[in-house]
Structure 1
Amino acid sequence: MSEEGRHTHATAHRAPSTCPVCDSSLQLTRLGCPGCGTEIAGIFEQCRFCALSSDDLETLTVFLASRGNLREVEKHLGVSYPTARQRFGQLLDRLGLGTEQTAPAVDRDQVLADVASGQITPAEAQRLLGGG
């Protein structure tokens, strides 16, 4: 690899998904080749995963690596199973893949136990239980 190519990869940053001035969604309008300098301009479709936060990407990676095992996501997040399901549901919603019919049932006793043990905050418990 050329010195220029190595430099490009070393300084690569994650592209923002929203405008820092007005918070509108940004459009991908230019692509460039670090090898030969070719540039292509237009309006290109964004990757739906590129707008996810680093935490969401890590959670999704754990889910995929564990072949869909939410118990592994639970361990990774350090939360109860209902909380892991709820957070994964929110991740699916951010990807446009969630549906109201598949919203996970929340075990009230488990949520209260999670608050008592300090695994979740009272505000998060209230949200899980539909109060906020």
Structure 2
Amino acid sequence: MRIGELAERTGASTRSLRYYEQHGLLSARRGSNGYREYSLEDVRLVSEIRALLTVGFTLEDARPFVDCLRAGHATGAACAESVAVYRRKLAEIDEEIRVLLDRRAEVAGQLTAACPGCFAKEKRDQADD
């Protein structure tokens, strides 16, 4: 299939597909006419990449998942390298949550200092919603 059909089947833009190819996550064969040609396996690869990008993984994070699929596994998460990426990403997310909670506490403290009683009113108003 050509790049336009792969884009249509996966919901990716042709520009994204070329970008994945540029980064070595997708490889197109060239037809006698010079057009890029893709297989049904490439639909799986692009779908995996897009699913990972949607939840915050980078293209480099996606590489072990793509390699796992290329190795013949049913899912991109079936390999130890992919599991390691999941674990690392969860640790990053946990750290982001900790930072946000600390930041929230700091802002709440500043609001309380600037306007005694306002923070308690904010919490009551949120509970009413």
Please indicate the TM-score interval, normalised by the length of the shorter structure.
under 0.3
Which one has the largest radius of gyration?
2
Q: TM-score, normalised by structure 2?
A: 0.25
Which structure dedicates a bigger proportion of its chain to strand? 1
Which structure dedicates a bigger proportion of its chain to helix? 2
